[in-house]
Structure 1
Amino acid sequence: MTPFWKLSAAGFAATAITYGPARMGFGLFLPQFKSVFGISTQSAGFVSSLGFLGFFVGLLVSQVMTNRTGPRLSIVCGLVAATLGMGIVAAAPNLPVLSVGVLLAMSSAGFSWAPFNNVIHRKVEDGSRPAALSLVSTGTSLGIAAAGGAALLMSIGGISWRLCWATFAIASVVSLLGNWMALREVAGTPGPGVTQRWSLLLQPPAIPLLGIGLCYGATSAIYISFAADRIAQAGGVAGLPANASGGLVFICCGIFGLIGLFTGSAKASTGLPWLLRLLLLASALSSGLVALLPTSWAGVVLSAGLQGVYVMMMSAVLAFWSERLFPALPSQSFTAALLAVAAGSVLGPAAAGFASDALGATPMFLGTAALAAATAAALRSRHIRERPEPD
């Protein structure tokens, strides 16, 4: 197997777990968690933000690991955290234990994605890197769709949510073993950029990258944390139990997210500035639809589909944009972008949970839509660069 396919498959599997059920599972199963553990919307926002804080810390620790021992250790540690966290959620007897499981599971995303920029930069030819990075990031689609399918089967067939989480943990073990074998060639070798200073990333061309990452983190985290509960509380879509609507949301999100495989082609056709604007407007429409049409089949499917496209394509954009903007710092530059995403992800759900309790779910989601639309309107093409500044 060529390095392109071996490493793309390993990254696809890792992100399928860590950015699928490990990162999205709390929001997907929030209606069930509310029922079992008596969680308020505001408390749910804090638990979700705690999980994203684990993601933030995982990113920092991952960079240290990658700089010292190479990318394999960080990726493997992330999959170990995912396995343990999802196992703890499956067995959680109360909210504090559940929160610990969510924290561990969501931290896995911080450990397991950015190091693949290091791996692919070293082992895959330059012309194939955007495609490889898009494959890695789009692994999330499979994980989200599988988690959504599990939730839908649970609601319709009476399967315990605990069994679903135990199944996720077993799948994480399989991904862990596969990545352990696929990444043997980069074990113990840090690769490029490890002696470079983080200050090299603090340049004007990085400001749009980090600002968009912050907005992306806040808007996507709010959606994945509360969309399923919003639809369930509104009564769900016709023909499905209210709690099954969340499964529908995440299935559609994952399936439509496969469009992320064509991110490179979309960027070539539209240019990066217009692709960013279109994705932010897709986010705005997605949040607006779940705010205003939470019981409509068309509204829910379109909302989830647009969110899936936004999440997958924007994550792919951040991956190849950061790698091309700072080619000497492939892992650190993507980690910086993801730290911006994580900061938005920590702030977004906590603020949204408070706003939802105070004002209601509809104004909260409309405010999220306004944030994405305002960011799209603020973009200026002259500030969006894809190449490093000349020496």
Structure 2
Amino acid sequence: MNASVALGVTGFSLIAVTYGLARFAWGLMMPAVMKDIPFSVHLAGIVAACSYLSYCLSTAAAPGLVMRFGARRVACLAALCAAAGLLLLACAFAPLMLAAGLLIAGLSAGIASPAIASAVSAGLPSAQQDAANTAINAGTSAGIMLSVPILLLLPGGWRAACVAFAVLALLCLLPTWRYLPEDRRKGDRDRTGWRDLVRQRSLLRLAIVAFISGSSSAAWWSFGPEILRNHLHLDAHASSLLWLIGGGAGIAGALTGAARRWFSMAQIYRLSLCCMALPLLVLASLNGFSGWLFPAVALGGAGYVTLSGVLLVYGAAATPDSAATGVGVAFFMLAAGQVVGSMLFGAVYAGPGASVALVGFAALALGMMVVVPGR
């Protein structure tokens, strides 16, 4: 297999496991989990925030880990964290164990993206890196799509699905070790301090955009199935189908690199925010099933994956000597926003209600259209 293709497929698979299975599958599992292990909607927001919190912490640590141990070893660590967290979820019998499982599983995605960005930077020519990074980032959608049939069809329910997800994570270890380059850099030029990062206005702007956009995205990715089941009163199969459509549409994010032939990165960024806000407004306006849900959630899934790809490209460009550092800052702030967004949405949902929360979080996404993350 061609080395660049092998790197791309391996990175795509690892992102599918760490993001699609270890992180975002929780949103689809949550209604079933709440039946087996009862807890309130407000507590659900706190439990979901554990995944985002660990993602935050691991993203902050990832550039240093990549510099010291190399992209290959850190990517293998991501697969191991995903497997360990998912196995703990499968054994959980209390909210605290769920939170611990999500905490460990969330570590995997936080270190996977910077490690893969560093591997792409080391293994591919610069002209191919943006397209490769956005294509690999779309692996999130593949993981979400894979999670739906496993959760619906595998005997044993969500616990058996978590075991299956963990096995898939372990299967990523061999190709990750074989095809990802080391890229262990110890030069002074790669040791960018936080003071230097803060002085970069473009990186500061990127951090603000990522934080607020991440807050907005938590509405769907943490509470989407819960809203479909309990606010719109859809059955489990309809909710799973909509989740599958939303996740599958995110594959469009792989085309971000190709779309730059016709659109600027700023235009793609604004379009992705519009697509993220639309499904929230549609959900807020409905009281039951509607055919408008299908295109709305598809646009939402495509919008989020595209936005994360745009932030990845801006982050890598902001620190060209160390791609993992810029990507780490962007994804750290994206996750920090999701931590705050999950808790805030859960609180508003439990108080004023779903419609108020959905409209408010859609406004966050639309408001960020006036702030472009970088040049």
User: Which residue among 302, 322, 331 is the counterpart of 1:329?
Assistant: 322
User: Which residue among 166, 170, 179 is the counterpart of 1:169?
Assistant: 166
Identify if the C-alpha distance between structure 1 residues 294 and 301 changes in structure 2 by more than 3 Å, giving closer, same or farther: farther
* Residue aligning to 1:147: 147
Q: 1:279-290 residue pairs with structure 2 within 5 A? A: 279-290=272-283
Identify if the C-alpha distance between structure 1 residues 61 and 264 changes in structure 2 by more than 3 Å, giving closer, same or farther: same
Q: 1:241-390 residue pairs with structure 2 within 5 A? A: 242-293=235-286, 295-376=288-369, 378-379=370-371, 384-385=374-375
User: Do the aligned partners of 2:74 and 2:112 also contact (CA within 8 Å) in 1?
Assistant: yes
Q: For the residues of structure 2 that align with 1:365 and 1:152, how far apart are their CA atoms? A: 27
Q: Deviations over 1:141-183 (max 9, x none)?
A: 11011112323436xxx75221111111111111122212222
Identify if the C-alpha distance between structure 1 residues 294 and 278 changes in structure 2 by more than 3 Å, giving closer, same or farther: farther
Q: 1:122-271 residue pairs with structure 2 within 5 A? A: 122-153=122-153, 159-183=156-180, 185-186=181-182, 193-202=189-198, 203-234=200-231, 236-237=233-234, 242-271=235-264
Q: For the residues of structure 2 that align with 1:92 and 1:180, how far apart are their CA atoms? A: 30
Q: Any stretches of 5+ residues in structure 1 without a counterpart?
A: 386-391
Runs of 4+ in 1 over 4 A off after TM superposition: 187-193
Q: For the residues of structure 2 that align with 1:34 and 1:181, how far apart are their CA atoms? A: 40
Q: For the residues of structure 2 that align with 1:13 and 1:60, how far apart are their CA atoms? A: 23
> What is the one-letter code of the residue matched to 2:217?
S
Q: For the residues of structure 2 that align with 1:251 and 1:290, how far apart are their CA atoms? A: 17
> What is the one-letter code of the residue matched to 1:176?
L
> What is the one-letter code of the residue matched to 2:258?
S
Q: How many residues align?
A: 374
Q: Deviations over 1:220-244 (max 9, x none)?
A: 222111010001113544xxxx223
Q: For the residues of structure 2 that align with 1:332 and 1:151, how far apart are their CA atoms? A: 35
Q: For the residues of structure 2 that align with 1:43 and 1:192, how far apart are their CA atoms? A: 45
Q: For the residues of structure 1 that align with 2:285 and 2:30, how far apart are their CA atoms? A: 20
Identify if the C-alpha distance between structure 1 residues 46 and 134 changes in structure 2 by more than 3 Å, giving closer, same or farther: same
Q: For the residues of structure 2 that align with 1:38 and 1:247, how far apart are their CA atoms? A: 21
The alignment partner of 2:228 has SS state of helix
User: Do the aligned partners of 1:4 and 1:132 also contact (CA within 8 Å) in 2?
Assistant: no
Q: Any stretches of 5+ residues in structure 2 without a counterpart?
A: none
User: Do the aligned partners of 1:259 and 1:309 also contact (CA within 8 Å) in 2?
Assistant: yes
Q: For the residues of structure 1 that align with 2:186 and 2:218, how far apart are their CA atoms? A: 31
> What is the one-letter code of the residue matched to 1:224?
W
Shift of 1:60: 2.2
Identity of aligned residues (%): 25
User: Do the aligned partners of 2:20 and 2:143 also contact (CA within 8 Å) in 1?
Assistant: yes
Q: 1:79-94 residue pairs with structure 2 within 5 A? A: 79-94=79-94
C-alpha RMSD of the superposition: 1.9
Shift of 1:348: 0.3
Identify if the C-alpha distance between structure 1 residues 336 and 98 changes in structure 2 by more than 3 Å, giving closer, same or farther: same
Q: For the residues of structure 1 that align with 2:331 and 2:365, how far apart are their CA atoms? A: 18
> What is the one-letter code of the residue matched to 1:267?
R
Q: Under a length normalisation based on structure 1, what TM-score does the superposition of the two structures give? A: 0.90
Q: For the residues of structure 1 that align with 2:318 and 2:184, how far apart are their CA atoms? A: 26
> What is the one-letter code of the residue matched to 1:198?
W
Q: For the residues of structure 2 that align with 1:343 and 1:269, how far apart are their CA atoms? A: 32
Q: For the residues of structure 2 that align with 1:128 and 1:171, how far apart are their CA atoms? A: 28
The alignment partner of 2:173 has SS state of helix
Q: Under a length normalisation based on structure 2, what TM-score does the superposition of the two structures give? A: 0.94
Q: For the residues of structure 1 that align with 2:184 and 2:337, how far apart are their CA atoms? A: 32
Q: For the residues of structure 2 that align with 1:294 and 1:265, how far apart are their CA atoms? A: 38
User: Do the aligned partners of 1:218 and 1:347 also contact (CA within 8 Å) in 2?
Assistant: yes
